Chain A
Amino acid sequence: MPEKRNSSLVLVGHGSTLNPDSSAPTFQHADEISRRGIFAEVYCAFWKEEPSLREILRMVESDDIYVVPNFISEGYFTEIIIPRELELSGPVTHRSGKVIKYCEPVGNDPRMIDLLLHRAVEVAPGVAAEQTSLLIVGHGTHLNEKSAEAARSQATLIKERGRYAEVYAAYMEEPPNIADWRKITSQPNVVVVPFFISDGLHSYQDIPVLLGIESARTAAASQQEVFRRNPYYLDGRLLYYASAVGTEPLMAEVILDMIERFDRKYGFELAA
């Protein structure tokens, strides 16, 4: 990616008031991009942590600002919360001499499918894919149907590759519910990959309870000696639960891709 020394990047994460690991991947990818010296400044801002979306633009000094949502899908946060809290008027906002460029969320990148497959293979090495059900688990929310759609389209694309015996999307907050994985899947091996940004509250603490691999919420991932003890033998089947897709180091490339895509779409690459 060409240098953009007159621009700054603001990476927006959800963050959490309960789980210290929620913001970790956002900082991790911001650090990596910062090390490359492409932008004048790289910042993180959060919905539920500080710096908040309401204060971040005071901290950024460049007049040209790219905002990339480190979110897994279009939806409630990218369409309502982030634009509202940052007071954006559209993809390009001009305000007080500054230009704020609002990019698509990282989950829209076509490479997400490869990252999901990488996670699936990594968590269950040597396990026969033709005897494996792969579940892509998303949040799902009644507030916006696009949240579920993102996981569903990834599952469809992976299914088309024909590698796994079966591939489904399942959700925390809408059907098909991840708690019903025994009914949804039929194979002796079940690989579950969280289509989430971080190993935070939902993917590390809530979903394992819904799957039945933990009886109650455990401490956060960073407070544990062992990340996870795969596989889990449940009802005669072997279940493998992966780390969230958003913790992949390759996500830094995906973030830069979202910026290049934005520049192409809105004709900024000539001005760079």
Chain B
Amino acid sequence: MIRDDLARLIKSGYRAVGELEFEESSPGYRLYHWTDRNSLQGARRYHSIEAARELAKYDAGGKYRPLKGAPNLSSGWVIELETIDELRKALDYFYPGAIATWIAFQNGKTRPVPLRETVNRQSGMYRVTRKLGNEQARTLAKEACRSKDRCLRTILWGIEENQTPDFLPPSKSDPTFDQTGQNRAAIPFLCLEACNLLIARARSTLSRRSG
């Protein structure tokens, strides 16, 4: 069970994923933004996993966050949950599938999908992305996926089959590296395949050039 794996990860010292930190508290668990680590007393308190869904949806300015890996979560809150099941669900609202994918990765059950394969199966309005050149792809991913201000996922896919993700610093594809730069024992938010946002960006780039 993924919840058992999560309990094991916590016991072995993992306390973070993305911008979040979590810990056992009495009773249950609490979850908060890392910048609030030392100021939880004054934080807004929530007790439901639905709060996680809403907090994950908007940034501090109330703007919609379509990309869950974006490093712009709001702070000033703490979610207190009673069970490990609830903690797992809350973490999945912030970073969907992060735990399951990390477990699958450790068990050798993940297959990163090269960008070429992803664009080659696109259809409809995204079919045009099949024309994406390798250099265009590298520039695009470099701009759209960097951890500093775009996305905290750890990228495992390359542009072509058997290529490593060499378009960003080596730390971007290192699952042991904390993408926030905080150097915590963090569960990585693995990226096994280019997301729809990147494909949409590729489409705009290509449409702009041909139009």
CB–CB B92/A59 < 8 A: yes
Within the assembled complex, what's the spacing in Å between the Cα atoms of A19 and B65? 10
CB–CB B124/A143 < 8 A: yes
CB–CB B196/A52 < 8 A: yes
What's the minimum C-beta distance from A174 to chain B, rounded to whole angstroms? 15
Within the assembled complex, what's the spacing in Å between the Cα atoms of A254 and B109? 36
- Contacts of A19 on B, CB cut-off 8 Å? 64
Within the assembled complex, what's the spacing in Å between the Cα atoms of A143 and B195? 22
- Contacts of B196 on A, CB cut-off 8 Å? 17, 47-48, 52
Q: Taking the complex as formed, is B161 at the interface, i.e. its CB lies under 8 A from any CB of chain A? A: no
A52-B53 contact given A17-B200, A59-B96, A61-B1, CB 8 Å threshold:
no
Contact with A along B1-13 (1 / 0, CB 8 A): 1100000000000
Which residues of chain A (68-98) have a CB below 8 Å from chain B?
Answer: 76, 80-81, 84
What residue in chain A is nearest B121 (Cβ atoms)?
Answer: A84
CB–CB A18/B64 < 8 A: yes
Which residues of chain A (5-19) have a CB below 8 Å from chain B?
Answer: 16-19
- Contacts of A220 on B, CB cut-off 8 Å? 64
Binds A, one of B20-28, B38-46, B97-105: B97-105
What's the minimum C-beta distance from B55 to chain A, rounded to whole angstroms? 13
A55-B64 contact given A50-B96, A61-B1, A80-B123, CB 8 Å threshold:
no
- Contacts of A143 on B, CB cut-off 8 Å? 124
Interface size range on B against A: 20 to 34
Within the assembled complex, what's the spacing in Å between the Cα atoms of A16 and B197? 10
A56-B97 contact given A31-B50, A143-B124, CB 8 Å threshold:
yes
CB–CB B97/A58 < 8 A: yes
A18-B66 contact given A52-B196, A61-B2, CB 8 Å threshold:
yes
- Contacts of A18 on B, CB cut-off 8 Å? 64, 66
- Contacts of B1 on A, CB cut-off 8 Å? 61
What residue in chain A is nearest B89 (Cβ atoms)?
Answer: A41
Q: Taking the complex as formed, is A49 at the interface, i.e. its CB lies under 8 A from any CB of chain B? A: yes
Interface residues of A (CB under 8 A from B): 16-20, 27, 31, 47-52, 54-56, 58-59, 61, 76, 80-81, 84, 143, 220
- Given contacts A17-B197, A20-B58, list 9 more A-B pairs with CB under 8 A: A47-B196, A48-B66, A52-B96, A54-B192, A55-B192, A58-B101, A59-B97, A59-B100, A80-B123
Cβ-closest 6 pairs across A and B: A51-B96, A17-B66, A20-B64, A50-B96, A55-B97, A50-B68
